[in-house]
Chain A
């Protein structure tokens, strides 16, 4: 019983394994090997029982892996990635910070958190595993001051150089001469070179350069030291001169607190450069090796989950340090906070591991970091490019101030060439608009003449004269058959509400030209008065033959019009304010349906409200059915500008955030391209591709281009919050099991799980402004409810099984009217479904000791009752055996009266079970209609309270159930014995326990309740806060998920099938 299935926890160690093209990663106590290209897990080894992996070292022949974490070390032997097998565990005296392999023989040097050096020969470590733990002896004893960082390197086969950083800003540089004595052990003579105050805060990272790297700063340079700290500084020191000796830190009897004055004894190396970076603490620093041309480059990695590349450049400013650190680039590959691990490969590629459980493989930058300006030499002096649009891969049509029309061809290296299509057209002078699709573009100006540019013929022809200044051109096209292409053009003009609608057809077999049907065959657009068009798309369905025109407006509305010219023309539906009062910037139609005779599809829309919405549009029995199935905010915006579906079926969305242009892969939840362009409100054009695309923009009258042909990084196992998960709720529908998690990052994530690939995030709900406190699905899982601080309470409508959006659409159906009104937290809530679809009774438990009962009816809220408990913060509310029950930080359960009349809720009795806060509950109704309530106590105890229907209450307490606060409990009935329950408990002692609870209901109170511990296992999820049951594949299909710093799945086993889980939905009123 209780078998580990999978976990996704922070990545605390990384190393490249070249031969097998693998990245090795420490995830908790597991060592995983992933194929670098596909992200596939190739090996998954449990290295330690209950210790996280903090370091991985691969020998040059790649036959031995050395893995360490905390005090423990383990050697793994093997010949390929799938054959490594662990040997005995060794234990050092203290926490290991770093290890290095000597260049000549097989010696390993370890530095620990008290600056002790341990040397051993890797061949001397046992290759067997007899299950015992063996000690490692130290060669240089500790210096009795605590370190946060250390880096050890071998200068030769018998000499180590060590840099170490203390919690209080000091850095030490010391070396040790190592010799092997007769008995095979090692001794060392240590020498301290420098002990100095390097930073104002804890030194979290130190790194020594190689000689080659140091030489790039000058011949006199042999060794550089880089350091980073709590004080947000990155510093580079010249430690080439190691002839002088310094006192070691313990010898210096100086003040040890913060702000101590450096004393005479202190001996500091010259500081070459210093810079401030990152918005929070800086954990790690590395020298970048791959490109000697670039001089010395270093990379820093921070708590802010970003990595910054710095280049060390001479600084000629008098009075400054001799060099300056110039920020070259920033990447934000990880979600949430923290980069905990880093590894570099020789080709300049490097990997980062975050608290989000993701590994980012960063490719060596191969592109000019600076944007290139598009050459304007071909233009008349004084003339300038104004408007432009892509009509082909890397090809744009552009108009100038003087009204001349050009084609521009852009090259990958930032080059461009221009060709004039027509010299100055008076109709386009001073003002013009351009719209394009593949191989076709339209132009118009203030005179009202509309031109068509056909890339096949490279000709510009006039196609219409509106007689008024044209304010907008919108174009859409589809292939009617493999040769016939239909093009729809909308022209809006100044002062006229009705747009002009034109249609062009081209039969590629007969002609290269597009022809426009006769006037009376042109469609008309039945949009309402004052509908100011900002976006447009069309769709055509063959059988029945239907042509739809979909337009978005400046006021956020969308109109769906039938433009079939079959007599059914007309407005099908006006969807008011889909994007609030903000403009709809883009529309995209995706047909779907296996039956060609029914029209069905999805309309994607983007708005300046920063959201992406999807409507399902169906025609069924001659009737139109339109339903909003999805609308969520994006992680950038509010200026969201465009979208497309890539050949790999991923949805790509682009827009702006601050001063940057962002391209976002919505399916991978990854920013694929970021260009610093100055921000929204400018002319720009973007042509997407799978790896990025081409972005052209205007800034201060100049035109720039940036072409990206490769994503800057790829992510392996993305999708976690990267912050502490505070709530989890698992849906129980048959078709698709969704794990909803809410975290400190204020987001809710919906993920799926399978044993092979682990968790996959399908949607991120970014609407809360505070950390999530509680989550709960309605029993049919059509709704998800979430609560947080500031009285935030949201109702989400979730649609599963859709062919877009990774299968799951989410709409925030309602925000509780009190959300944001006060600083109260809602720690728990109880949802009961009523007989009416979409109507719920909701009881909310607040941090000020009040309980409020609301009735919710599809978006409308009415307060039923409100009542004070006492003074303690309420932690949970639930109902069982006809009682509403609350738990609180005072350790009490309180039973509330509900029957009297729903008009008021008062608590009837309260029962102390715990000394301190109750942090979790689970309950189960027994067959005599009494209930057992299991409580997780901050007092390390588990309480089991029996509540009879009459209200009689008796409690059983297991005082030392865990070593530390019990934070979550869950209960499953045993399949074999109806008088036995399985109880799971989790604690911040990082243990999960499985207990059997047998009940003889005929005995009074808890006399018939017997508890037995069945399993006591270590979890890799630190600081566990929540636990939920889930369904797993296979016969013994019940498992549980443990959450907080990561997520972990356990199979409960022991004959429990998932009948219990599906039972839940039997009680549900069919929706």
Chain B
């Protein structure tokens, strides 16, 4: 398979190169924004786990340069064309051809990006190299947000808080599923801990989440501090992946809650549950939606023979299933489909080489010895 095979396999990989994004992840954020209007009224943002930096690029283009990056960037033009050919009754809104709008840079923009890996600089963005699970990162972040912050003070709250905290962090998965889910949840807790320190009331929090075993425990915890919690999956994220994004809006710090360095959320510490996370199951179980689909609102957790088979101190009331929302119109490129390349397609080099893996030296060493490194049949 030639150089362009990945372009065919993954439309977003190709689009990212063509549109100058450092990673295909940019589209995930853009599609989340399309659905949730994430950047509305936002000027101060923290981008956690940001390398190689495509989310920061989105922030830079939208907030600093004031551009609009709309649906046209990821639309598969064939979709509507094919629908038209099929003469499928009423065609979905194709009127929304966006006219290029004038750039409107925002004022007083502050963006801080953090990652373990070094990240090429981006104009107007403060990049920090740090581990978000490490407690020393909190003062580091506070200082970056507010140059007057005194790191020797014991305060761990931002004097001028931010509007939005993003985290796209993912560990290197091992394949031991429960461990991977645990480590990912630790990253989420770390991001939430930072968010609790820097987010303004009413602010938003968006983070990558692995939808796996016990993810409902995490949802329930997030619901304690945010008014609305939705699990969202952008079209640019593959159907086959466990990855999704938790979009939390209207931050409502619990009364008397203090973020703590010594006793962060995650291992051991939990947020006290309020009763509001319980869904109202009293309404009619059947609702007919506009599109004719009948939705069945039912208890899907406790079965007839409800003998609880979940040991542990967290009981059933600490579980809650966040509503799911797919983001991006169906006309968006399909991340799972194979695509015919546009005529005259030239495969471009990636904008940023991928960050060096820790086994880079092992690779080089092996290459010297002339062996095919890590070639396991069917690997990947």
Q: Would you list which residues of chain B between 306 and 337 have a CB under 8 Å from chain A?
A: 309-313, 319, 321, 323-326, 330-331, 333-337
Q: Which residues from chain A contact B299 at a C-beta distance below 8 Å? A: 1013
**Contact between A257 and B130 (Cβ–Cβ < 8 Å)?**
yes
Q: Would you list which residues of chain A between 918 and 976 have a CB under 8 Å from chain B?
A: 919, 938-941, 954-965
**Contact between A939 and B298 (Cβ–Cβ < 8 Å)?**
no
A646 vs B354: C-alpha distance in the bound complex, in angstroms? 53
Is A114's beta carbon under 8 Å from chain B? yes
**Contact between A200 and B358 (Cβ–Cβ < 8 Å)?**
yes
A71 vs B174: C-alpha distance in the bound complex, in angstroms? 19
A846 vs B9: C-alpha distance in the bound complex, in angstroms? 12
Is A445's beta carbon under 8 Å from chain B? no
Is A665's beta carbon under 8 Å from chain B? no
The verdict on A959 contacting B297 (CB below 8 Å), with A231-B362, A304-B376, A989-B211 known, is: yes
Q: Which residues from chain A contact B345 at a C-beta distance below 8 Å? A: none
Q: Which residues from chain B contact A994 at a C-beta distance below 8 Å? A: 303
**Contact between A93 and B242 (Cβ–Cβ < 8 Å)?**
no
B331 to chain A, nearest CB (A): 8
**Contact between B267 and A12 (Cβ–Cβ < 8 Å)?**
no
**Contact between A955 and B268 (Cβ–Cβ < 8 Å)?**
no
**Contact between A201 and B358 (Cβ–Cβ < 8 Å)?**
yes
**Contact between B296 and A258 (Cβ–Cβ < 8 Å)?**
no
**Contact between B176 and A873 (Cβ–Cβ < 8 Å)?**
no
The verdict on A955 contacting B294 (CB below 8 Å), with A871-B78, A1015-B303, A1022-B178 known, is: yes
Task: For B315, give the chain A residue with the smallest CB separation.
Answer: A133
Is A233's beta carbon under 8 Å from chain B? yes
A10 vs B337: C-alpha distance in the bound complex, in angstroms? 31
B239's partner among A200, A257, A938, A961 (CB-CB below 8 A) is: A938
Q: Is the interface of B mostly helix, strand, loop or mixed?
A: loop
Q: B99-127 toward A: CB 8 Å interface, digit per residue (1/0)? A: 00000000000000001111000000000
**Contact between B79 and A94 (Cβ–Cβ < 8 Å)?**
no
Is B352's beta carbon under 8 Å from chain A? no
Is B342's beta carbon under 8 Å from chain A? no
Is A774's beta carbon under 8 Å from chain B? no
Is A146's beta carbon under 8 Å from chain B? yes
| Contact segment of A46-54, A322-330, A383-391 | A46-54
**Contact between A889 and B336 (Cβ–Cβ < 8 Å)?**
yes
**Contact between B83 and A959 (Cβ–Cβ < 8 Å)?**
no
A1005 vs B286: C-alpha distance in the bound complex, in angstroms? 14
**Contact between B82 and A871 (Cβ–Cβ < 8 Å)?**
yes
Is B20's beta carbon under 8 Å from chain A? no
Q: Is the interface of A mostly helix, strand, loop or mixed?
A: loop
Is B378's beta carbon under 8 Å from chain A? yes
Q: Which residues from chain A contact B312 at a C-beta distance below 8 Å? A: 51, 71-72, 89, 91, 133
Q: Which residues from chain B contact A113 at a C-beta distance below 8 Å? A: 182, 186, 267
**Contact between A823 and B9 (Cβ–Cβ < 8 Å)?**
yes
B186's partner among A146, A276, A960 (CB-CB below 8 A) is: A146
**Contact between B336 and A917 (Cβ–Cβ < 8 Å)?**
yes
Task: For A745, give the chain B residue with the smallest CB separation.
Answer: B378
Q: Which residues from chain A contact B358 at a C-beta distance below 8 Å? A: 169, 199-202, 229-231, 258
Task: For A987, give the chain B residue with the smallest CB separation.
Answer: B211
**Contact between B176 and A258 (Cβ–Cβ < 8 Å)?**
no
Is A253's beta carbon under 8 Å from chain B? yes
Q: Which residues from chain A contact B213 at a C-beta distance below 8 Å? A: 50, 988-990, 1022
Q: Which residues from chain A contact B293 at a C-beta distance below 8 Å? A: 912-913, 955-957
Q: Which residues from chain A contact B129 at a C-beta distance below 8 Å? A: 255-258, 260
Task: For A204, give the chain B residue with the smallest CB separation.
Answer: B174
Is A870's beta carbon under 8 Å from chain B? yes
**Contact between A916 and B118 (Cβ–Cβ < 8 Å)?**
no
Counting chain A residues whose Cβ lies within 8 A of the other chain, the interface size class is 35 or more
**Contact between A146 and B133 (Cβ–Cβ < 8 Å)?**
yes
| Contact segment of B134-142, B156-164, B198-206, B250-258 | B134-142
Is B34's beta carbon under 8 Å from chain A? no
Is B208's beta carbon under 8 Å from chain A? no
Is A348's beta carbon under 8 Å from chain B? no
Q: Which residues from chain B contact A664 at a C-beta distance below 8 Å? A: none
Q: Which residues from chain B contact A1023 at a C-beta distance below 8 Å? A: 177, 212, 242
B58 to chain A, nearest CB (A): 22
**Contact between B211 and A988 (Cβ–Cβ < 8 Å)?**
yes
B294 to chain A, nearest CB (A): 5
With a 10 A CB-CB cut-off, give which of B115, B177, B295, B305 has the most chain A CB atoms: B177
A817 vs B335: C-alpha distance in the bound complex, in angstroms? 27
**Contact between B136 and A250 (Cβ–Cβ < 8 Å)?**
yes
**Contact between A823 and B8 (Cβ–Cβ < 8 Å)?**
yes
**Contact between A112 and B267 (Cβ–Cβ < 8 Å)?**
yes
Q: Which residues from chain A contact B61 at a C-beta distance below 8 Å? A: none
A266 vs B336: C-alpha distance in the bound complex, in angstroms? 47
A276's partner among B5, B134, B264, B365 (CB-CB below 8 A) is: B365
Is A355's beta carbon under 8 Å from chain B? yes
Is A868's beta carbon under 8 Å from chain B? yes
**Contact between A1016 and B376 (Cβ–Cβ < 8 Å)?**
no
Q: Which residues from chain B contact A868 at a C-beta distance below 8 Å? A: 82
A875 vs B296: C-alpha distance in the bound complex, in angstroms? 25
Is A849's beta carbon under 8 Å from chain B? yes
Is B292's beta carbon under 8 Å from chain A? yes
Q: Which residues from chain B contact A255 at a C-beta distance below 8 Å? A: 129-130
Q: A104-146 toward B: CB 8 Å interface, digit per residue (1/0)? A: 0000000011101000000000000000010100000010111
With a 10 A CB-CB cut-off, give which of A135, A258, A770, A994 has the most chain B CB atoms: A258
A794 to chain B, nearest CB (A): 15
**Contact between B362 and A873 (Cβ–Cβ < 8 Å)?**
no
Residues of A within 8 A of B (CB): 10, 12, 48-52, 69-72, 89, 91, 93-95, 112-114, 116, 133, 135, 142, 144-146, 167-169, 199-202, 204, 229-233, 250, 253, 255-260, 276, 279-281, 283, 303-304, 337-338, 340, 355, 723, 744-747, 770-771, 822-825, 846-849, 868, 870-873, 875, 889-891, 907, 910, 912-913, 915-917, 919, 938-941, 954-965, 988-990, 993-994, 1005-1006, 1011-1018, 1022-1023, 1045
Residues of B within 8 A of A (CB): 1, 5, 8-9, 76, 78-79, 82-83, 86, 88, 115-118, 129-131, 133-137, 171-172, 174-179, 182-183, 186, 211-216, 233, 239, 242, 261-262, 264, 267-268, 291-305, 309-313, 319, 321, 323-326, 330-331, 333-340, 357-362, 365, 373-379
19 contacts between A and B (CB under 8 A): A49-B309, A49-B310, A70-B178, A113-B186, A200-B361, A202-B172, A231-B361, A250-B134, A256-B130, A279-B375, A337-B175, A871-B76, A873-B337, A939-B326, A954-B294, A958-B296, A959-B296, A990-B213, A1015-B303
Additional A-B contact list (11), CB under 8 Å, known A258-B117, A872-B337, A988-B212: A89-B312, A144-B261, A200-B359, A255-B130, A257-B129, A257-B131, A915-B324, A956-B293, A964-B212, A1011-B298, A1013-B299
